[in-house]
Amino acid sequence: MSSTTVPEGEAVDYTIKNSDVVTKYRTAAVIADAALVKVMDACVPGAKIIDLCSLGDRLLGEGTKAVYAKGSGANKISKGIAFPTCVSVNHVICHFSPLPSDPEAAEEIQDGDMVKIELGAQIDGFAAVTAHTVVVGATKEAPVTGKKADALKAAYLASEAALRLIREGKKNSDVTETLQTITNAFGVKSIEGMLSHQQERNLLDGKKTIILNPSDQNRNYERCDFAVGDVWTVDVLVSTGDAKPKDSTYRTTVHKKTTTSYQLKMAASRKVYSEVTSKFGQFPFTLRAMEDERKARMGIQECAKRSVVDAYDVYTDQKGETVAQFIFTVLLTANGPVRITPSHWNDELVQSEHKIEDPEIVKLLNSGLGTKKNKKKKAAAAQEAEKQ
């Protein structure tokens, strides 16, 4: 039974207590991961960034189109891209997804570039977002070294620590403090002010947040507890530079519809807003996906000015520095955190001279993801089996 189909008079359960909801999250994760792997494989010297972005979006569209295809009318399930493919290289932090008309459309990745790939899929409003960082040309024989390796290893270990800390009884501040200790050990920094969000159906940026590196302006961020039933998209960004996001000259091409209402004046703006509402709902979209790119570029300006859409601006760190990124989606169950978007980390490709010395963090990273109660049950079952 679909999570949106319930006996008359009963409320729909959109939480992960509903097995249908979990199935949709997992289906979205499989589609997103398959697209991510294909884009990773396409990251070779000479590949154009815009082609990589278009490849990811095409695969997300094809993947979601192929599932839950039987419904129609009121029973038709919405599905598609939860986050458009962004390919941000070296010092570019995030949200880089150029248009064909942009000068950057001709940019190609080069050997040694640190390439961050972010994308996501959604089924019935249940989203799985993922990101991985590759260094073009890295091999077991010629692994990544130096500061690039430090940023990569720190970001990876930070993401693994965050995954283990998202459990009942822990707070968002536990993640913040632990990740700062990890990045300090590698001589790098988490990007200032960047947030990870709890998500809900049709909403990537829920009320609960994790801030990985609070700036002076948000030292008093709102603390929250992790709770069974939470779904989180955790975004870890680590830089070799000062880690202070800077506005760039790159065009903003990714936006998201808000709940703000406003009577737009321009016909082009109204047309853009109508198309956004019907095609993307509350999920982020790229202007490349609009019917008419030129009109979309014009109309989106008033939409953003009047706050009926939010802009995902392209941020950069200092030129010459590099930024690593890992994103995963996790469901917090009674048995502990369940990561639904897999990791593609290969330790043989990265050679950092630093390591974690803090015994508590080493213990955390070596720990499993299940609860103590669940582990005791498994141990008891194993002992019982030995008696048979």
Q: Where are the domains of the chain?
A: 19-252+313-359, 258-312
pLDDT of residue 88: 98
Longest dimension (CA), the chain: 77
- Rounded CA gap, 327 and 330, in Å? 10
pLDDT of residue 292: 95
Which residue, chain included where needed, has tokens 């520095």? Answer: 321
pLDDT of residue 258: 96
Helix H or strand E encompassing 38: helix 19-41
Fold (CATH) for 19-252+313-359? Creatine Amidinohydrolase (3.90.230)
- Describe the crossing of helices 172-185 and 359-366 by its angle, rounded to 10 degrees: 110
Kindly give, in sequence order, each residue whose CB lies less than 8 Å from that of residue 223, ignoring residues fewer than 6 positions away. 171, 172, 173
Q: Do 324 and 150 form a contact (C-beta atoms < 8 A)?
A: no
For the chain, strand residue ranges (E) read 79-89, 92-94, 114-123, 126-135, 189-190, 195-198, 209-211, 231-239, 246-247, 254-257, 285-286, 309-312, 315-316, 323-333, 336-339
258-312 has which CATH code?
Answer: 1.10.10.10
| Tokens encoding 221 | 């961020």
pLDDT of residue 221: 86
- Reduce the DSSP state of residue 98 to 3 states and report it: coil
| Tokens encoding 315 | 């941020």
- Rounded CA gap, 117 and 99, in Å? 17
Kindly give, in sequence order, each residue whose CB lies less than 8 Å from that of residue 332, ignoring residues fewer than 6 positions away. 166, 167, 168, 226, 227, 228, 229, 230, 231, 232, 338
| Tokens encoding 168 | 């009942």
Parts of the chain with a pLDDT under 70: 1-9, 72-74, 371-388
Q: Could you tell me which of 164, 172, 217 has the C-alpha nearest to residue 192?
A: 217
The amino acid present at 228, given as its one-letter code, is V
pLDDT of residue 198: 98
Task: State the burial class of residue 97 (Cβ atoms within 10 Å of its Cβ: 0-12, 13-18, 19+).
Answer: buried
